[in-house]
Amino acid sequence: MEWETDRGLTIRIGLALVFVAVLPVAFIYAFVFAINAIGLDLLAWATARPYNGEVYVESWLAIGAVAVGFAAQFLLGDSIALRSVDAGRITADERPDLVARVDRLAQIAEVERPRVAVSRSDVPNAFTIGVRPSKATIVVTEGALDTLEGDELDAVLAHELAHVKNHDVTVMSLSYVLPSLTYVVAIAAFFVLRGIFHVLGSFRHTDDDGAKGLFIAIVVLVVSAIVTMAISALFWLASFALFRTLSQYREYAADRGAAAITGKPAALASALRTVDDEMSDRPDRDLRHVDGGLEALYVAPIDDYQFGEERELISSDIFPSTHPSTNERIERLQELAGERA
């Protein structure tokens, strides 16, 4: 097997790991800053008492909290991901041909055979999850098994094995910690705002002191919720751009890896075209169902279709695509095929 170490991918993975570790800690201290810059003044205004103290969080406590998040992803991330796409791990008795293919290709790639799972979706696609390469799981949809055969299916499986060998699966799995955290925090803030408006809608009458107290409480809660949502959105965008940018590069690297494993880059080019054509004919609701929040992990992009004709309105500079252009990937694979001919 002609396998070349991709130094560009190695450097990107190293940098991504640094940001993956640092951003959640920065997220915590962003809230500390907001409390000291806005929250304490708001508290002083609400209580009509000056407050000269300052809130701080010990670094070991912030790092420990982030470590707990990574531990949760380590222990529960795979199970959550499988449930999100309605997938279950299978054995050689259940899918002998599929497991045999993965086993054979893993031996060629010189990696430990990943576990295999099948998603019940009829949208053709595949992805790999796993914080540890030795515990990785390749997920293939029913649609892919029905649509792809022979060399095309081997090529897609080899692409996923290349992700395992390149160790980028670990980074992508850990990258979901911060987006998940910011999402939960933002949703909590949203429900606080929703609750406030619900209370206001049912408010009828109270005395002057009660009205003043209610007004102060509402102002404090609204400002706190808005600041919380703003910080969460900022860090969600940062993490979103981070792993999407890494995702684009790693797809090229996995395409080259698949070509090295199978020796048939044209087969992967054909498979990508087949999957791309199949998904372009699917209603957006079908694609959202298979998404599961894992769009950056799939062998072929899902998000391109969910925006439909409005895709051009969204700047790829702010929201980079999860994958390179399928046409560009196919062209590169065809060039590899030409070099091997």
- pLDDT 10s digits, 249-268: 899 999 999 999 999 999 99
Q: Residue 22 pLDDT more than 60?
A: yes
pLDDT band at 308 (very low <50, low <70, confident <90, very high): very low
- Most confidently predicted of 154-163, 200-209, 284-293: 154-163
| pLDDT of res. 307 | 41
| pLDDT of res. 48 | 77
| pLDDT of res. 107 | 94
pLDDT band at 319 (very low <50, low <70, confident <90, very high): low
| pLDDT of res. 98 | 95
> Does 160 qualify as catalytic in the annotation?
yes
Nearest to 284 by CA among 80, 123, 148: 123
How many Cα atoms sit within 13 Å of 198 on the Cβ side?
A: 6
Q: How far apart are CA 82 and CA 129, in angstroms?
A: 9
pLDDT band at 186 (very low <50, low <70, confident <90, very high): confident
191-206 per-position pLDDT tens digit: 877 777 776 665 555 5
Q: Residue 90 pLDDT more than 60?
A: yes
207-229 per-position pLDDT tens digit: 555 566 667 777 777 788 888 88
Query: Who contacts 94 (Cβ-Cβ below 8 Å, separation ≥6)?
Result: none
| Least-confidence region, from 18-22, 52-56, 285-289, 323-327 | 285-289
Q: Please count the residues of the chain.
A: 341
Q: Which residues pair with 137 in a beta bridge?
A: 115, 129
- Pairwise pLDDT comparison (310 vs 142), residue with the higher score: 142
pLDDT band at 138 (very low <50, low <70, confident <90, very high): very high
Catalytic residue among 2, 58, 149, 160: 160
Mean pLDDT for all residues in the chain: 82
Query: Who contacts 1 (Cβ-Cβ below 8 Å, separation ≥6)?
Result: 108, 109, 110, 260, 261
Arithmetic mean of pLDDT, 57-70: 89
| pLDDT of res. 219 | 76
% of the chain with per-residue pLDDT over 90: 31
Nearest to 78 by CA among 116, 110, 23, 123: 116
